[in-house]
């Protein structure tokens, strides 16, 4: 990894480097562990995916605002080991927390020693994820300004329906005959599923600072199983709280695979929902409005619905966005996500009852 030395040297805080090795975790950014001599901190070096995150200055500004605000909250609360409870990024010799080498953008974050990530979704881990992400939002609920969207319209359901309508009209891959009935079925619920955007325009629903990529693996734990901090902050931006609540359950509460060909496998795991909801509401109810709480079950249905629309749009467009493993992969994904949507929708009444019992 000697080829990375010129990049590393742009971050004066990284000293006495002994080795650089790639890490397998992370699907978006190229990531490396920079190990230094004993007595100096190790670092995580990342090449930021500029194809996804077009405005790196905005991206890093969001992250700096969030980590700085959380750090101040921890200091005010008298927390110990703060450097293990919030990420800290090294400043490059250009005065920014990133460096552009003419082709690629790079950043370096202090490695939190003795930390680990988990991938297993269990009721226990789901409760901790809910608790920590609710706490994350609560700590940022008084940030004095909104953050810009690092990926514009990322979780905007009206925008996703607009993309679907454009794909249907163009039918560039000639696939509409196969999916016309499915499109019509999805359209029946479109008005209800776009309610968040309408409530926002009416001034009834606020946008919050949300993580927008809630999953077990986006948290660091210590060796005793205690949560240290939230990581992977690239998607932190202004959004509805539904982004953090619904997106976690889209994957975690699915008993099947995202692209399961056997739809009988796809069920909604209510125990995972209860554990996550319990943790989330414990830490987030201090700032949630009655309407936000009322719409949390809607959030659980929104994200499989949205993902079904996105997969279907890509299928109609001829598979131009998502990588596929076989010609009908996006169609199979669509059916699996739409089945999960219907399973979650059938559980809305039970979800409402459980959430009411918590608040």
Give residue-wise pLDDT tens across range 67-87.
999 999 999 999 999 999 999
All domains of the chain, ordered by start, with CATH? 2-110 (3.30.200.20), 123-358 (3.90.1200.10)
pLDDT at position 281 is 97
Instruction: Give the model's pLDDT for residue 133.
Output: 95
Predicted pLDDT at 144: 86
Q: Please tell me the predicted confidence (pLDDT) of residue 27.
A: 45
Residue 87: per-residue pLDDT: 96
Question: 3-state secondary structure string, the chain?
Answer: CHHHHHHHCCCCCCCCEEEEEECCCCCCCEEEEEEECCCCCCEEEEEECCCCCCCHHHHHHHHHHHHHHHHHHHHHCCCCCHHHCCCCECCCCCCCCCEECCCCEEEEEECCCCCECCCCCCHHHHHHHHHHHHHHHHHHCCCCCCCCCCCCCCCCHHHHHHHHHHHHHHCCCCCHHHHHHHHHHHHHCHHHHCHHHHHHHCCCCCCEEECCCCCHHHEEECCCCCEEEECCCCCCEEECCHHHHHHHHHHHCECCCCCCCCHHHCCECHHHHHHHHHHHHHHHCCCCCHHHHHCHHHHHHHHHHHHHHHHHHHHHCCCCCCCCCCCCHHHHHHHHHHHHHHHHHHCHHHHHHHHHHHC
| Per-residue confidence (pLDDT) for residue 51, from 0 to 100 | 85
Which residues in the chain show pLDDT less than 70? 1, 24-29
């Amino acid at each position: 990894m000697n080829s990375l030395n010129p990049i590393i040297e742009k971050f004066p805080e990284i000293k006495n480097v002994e080795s650089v090795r790639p890490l397998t975790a992370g699907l978006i950014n190229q990531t490396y562990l920079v190990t230094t001599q004993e007595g100096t901190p190790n670092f995580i070096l990342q090449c930021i995916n500029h194809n996804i995150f077009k405005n790196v200055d905005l991206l890093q500004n969001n992250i700096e605002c969030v980590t700085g605000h959380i750090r101040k909250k921890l200091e005010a609360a008298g927390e110990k080991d703060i450097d293990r409870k919030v990420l800290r990024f090294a400043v490059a010799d250009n005065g920014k927390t990133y460096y552009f080498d003419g082709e690629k953008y790079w950043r370096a974050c202090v490695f939190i020693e003795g930390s680990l990530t988990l991938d297993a979704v269990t009721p226990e881990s789901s409760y901790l994820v809910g608790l920590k992400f609710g706490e994350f939002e609560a700590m940022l609920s008084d940030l004095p300004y909104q953050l810009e969207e690092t990926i514009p319209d990322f979780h905007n359901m009206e925008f996703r329906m607009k993309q679907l309508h454009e794909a249907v009209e163009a039918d560039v891959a000639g696939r509409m005959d196969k999916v016309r009935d499915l499109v019509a079925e999805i359209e029946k619920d479109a008005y209800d599923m776009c309610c968040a955007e309408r409530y926002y325009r009416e001034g009834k629903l606020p946008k919050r600072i949300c993580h927008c990529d809630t999953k077990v693996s986006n948290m660091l734990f210590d060796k005793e199983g205690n949560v240290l901090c939230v990581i992977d902050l690239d998607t932190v931006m202004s959004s509805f709280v539904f982004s953090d609540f619904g997106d976690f359950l889209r994957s975690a509460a699915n008993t099947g695979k995202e692209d399961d060909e056997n739809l009988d496998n796809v069920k909604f795991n209510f125990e995972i929902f209860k554990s996550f909801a319990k943790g989330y509401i414990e830490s987030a109810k201090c700032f949630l409005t009655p309407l936000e709480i009322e719409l949390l079950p809607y959030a659980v249905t929104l994200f499989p619905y949205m993902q079904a629309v996105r997969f279907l749009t890509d299928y109609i467009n001829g598979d131009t966005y998502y990588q596929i493993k076989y010609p009908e992969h996006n169609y199979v994904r669509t059916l699996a996500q739409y089945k999960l949507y219907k399973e979650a929708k059938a559980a809305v009444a039970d979800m409402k009852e459980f959430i009411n019992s918590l608040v």
